[in-house]
Structure 1
Amino acid sequence: MSQEMRLISEIRKFLNDYRECVNRITNTLKRLSDAQQMLAREEISRSVYESLRKEYFEQLLPFIERYFRLKSELRKYKDRLQVLITRLRLEGKGGSVSASLVKQMEIYRSSSRYRFLAPKIAEATEGPPVESEVKTQVSYDLTDVEAMLKELVDLEMKIDVIDEVSLLEEYLSYAIKNNINIDKAEWERHLKDVMEKWSERKSSFLNQLENLEAKLSELEDAIRENEIRFAVGEYDHDTYNERRLALERRLNKVKEDIERIQRTIEATDMHILRSMELLGSIRREV
């Protein structure tokens, strides 16, 4: 088996493992979110919610550890796939079909399909008409590999960085509280990765806040203008009230958005700070 075939086989298995892990985490997070909403609507008591939260989180623990380790592998597979894709593109530009591309076809096609293609590949060096047909098949194989890379990228984004930060802090807290041995250096790397992702997201949030605060100022000016125009008799009572209510609705929506983003930033920063403190309390293995 060629290196390329082994790589594709590895990635296929990896995708199945990673997909299963991500699905378990996202499904459990959805249940936790639903339980939190039930608590907010007073459909369940605080004690019931805390009991469910503890139960679900304990179910999550092995998947959190597995997730962060798989994610480190995912980045390596992305790099290796990109190299393979580049090589396929370069080899596909030539006037003949290379042996390595023939092997790539074996990866994606059944044996019967390959037996169908083999004579055409053998004939490819003898005339342009068949060579063109083989190049089309090579292009299709390249598309498959690119689709595999896209799936890796999509899966990498499946769990939001805000959830990642929270999960990491929860895992470290539980591990330390229950005397579970963890590799400090490994989890420092995981924390560094999520901090880099959070830094990008936080910058986006701060830009949103800047725009929202500018909008807030505009709406406050518009409300004052409405008051003045009513006071000087430019607006009648109905016009004034109609504009006031519309402006206040927009103002309240902007305020809610600002508060929501601020809460998210503060909570996520706090998770990161606690994670740093938790890791700092662990002795590094010599």
Structure 2
Amino acid sequence: MEESEKLVEEARNVLRQMSDLQYELRDYEKRRSEILRMYSTGQVSREVFEGLMGELRQKMYPLVRKYFELKAKLRDLESQLRLVVTRLSVEAKTSESSVYRASFERDQRVRQALSRVGSALEDVQRELKNADVERELRMLDVLLDALPREEADVWKQALGEVVEAWSRARFSYAGRIEEIERRIESLNDSLKELEVRFAVGEFERGEYEVRRSAIEREMGELQAQLEALQEKLEDLDLIAARCREYLAR
């Protein structure tokens, strides 16, 4: 039981560290977005932009490294917690049928331990599931050009996991793009049909203009969504490609 309690406490500790780290990273991510915005709108020169990004890179490096270290630790803890849950489940099943008081008391302790370990496992799995690959790619994008050669082995594992995760996640982006394209095509067909129906006198001009305006407005909104998604997909694909280049060194 003592072993399982130590494991639960370790998991709670790592989760707390990850939570605290997330707050720090969000602050730097906001700074990055603001620096990029200022540069893209011409508020700062290329020289100033590179200087600001260099400072940001230095400050983010230890935080991002810590993030991936904690994430790796959570994966290891997930495996250990799974094993303990399985072992405690077996113990609970074998002791529940005993009529002896000592066995009954042990059964209660086992079930309590199983509940605590199971809860810790769920929290660890939730944290890992909530990992945002898009966010991880953008964090790596800041650091890729400054990763020390002597730490290549450390970073290659992290980059490999992120690239693999992106390979799976990008299907979701591509699917959303295809869905929007289908909706735009359908609306375009509706617009053509509307024009034909108006041409044969089915609608008065006023009603025709109202319907056409509604369709065109929806098409415009979808087109804006499509372009934003395509731009994001291209951007993330480019970062993933840079990660693959680093892995190939």
Normalising TM by the smaller chain, what interval?
A: 0.7 to 0.9
**2:241 is paired with a residue of what secondary structure?**
helix
How far is 1:90 from its partner? 2.1
Instruction: Give the corresponding residue for 1:75.
Output: 75
2:123 counterpart of 1:151: yes
How far is 1:214 from its partner? 1.4
2:197 counterpart of 1:229: yes
How far is 1:159 from its partner? 4.4
Instruction: Give the corresponding residue for 1:194.
Output: 162
Superposed CA deviations along residues 65-118 of structure 1, whole A, max 9, x for unmatched, are 1111221221111111111112222222234599xxxxxxxxxxxxxxxxxxxx
How far is 1:225 from its partner? 1.0
Instruction: Give the corresponding residue for 1:58.
Output: 58
Aligned length: 247
2:18 counterpart of 1:5: no
Alignment of 1:131-280 (within 5 A): 131=104, 138-175=110-147, 180-280=148-248
- Identity of matched residues, %: 28
Check 1:187–1:73 CA distance in 2 against 1; reply closer, same or farther (3 A cut).
same
The letter of the residue matching 2:101 is: E
Contact 2:141 2:239 in 1 (8 A): yes
Instruction: Give the corresponding residue for 1:120.
Output: none
Point out where structure 2 has 5 or more consecutive residues left out of the alignment.
none
TM (norm. structure 1) is 0.74
TM (norm. structure 2) is 0.83
**1:190 is paired with a residue of what secondary structure?**
helix
**1:235 is paired with a residue of what secondary structure?**
coil
Larger radius of gyration: 1
How far is 1:6 from its partner? 3.0
> How well do the aligned residues superpose, as a CA RMSD in angstroms?
3.1
Instruction: Give the corresponding residue for 1:21.
Output: 21
Contact 1:96 1:125 in 2 (8 A): no
Q: Indicate the structure whose relative CO is greater, using CA pairs within 8 Å and at least 6 residues apart.
A: 2
2:101 counterpart of 1:126: yes
**Bigger fraction of residues in helix:** 2
**1:46 is paired with a residue of what secondary structure?**
coil
How far is 1:198 from its partner? 0.7
How far is 1:220 from its partner? 0.4
How far is 1:209 from its partner? 1.9
How far is 1:195 from its partner? 1.3
Check 1:154–1:90 CA distance in 2 against 1; reply closer, same or farther (3 A cut).
same
How far is 1:266 from its partner? 0.8
Check 1:225–1:188 CA distance in 2 against 1; reply closer, same or farther (3 A cut).
same
Instruction: Give the corresponding residue for 1:45.
Output: 43
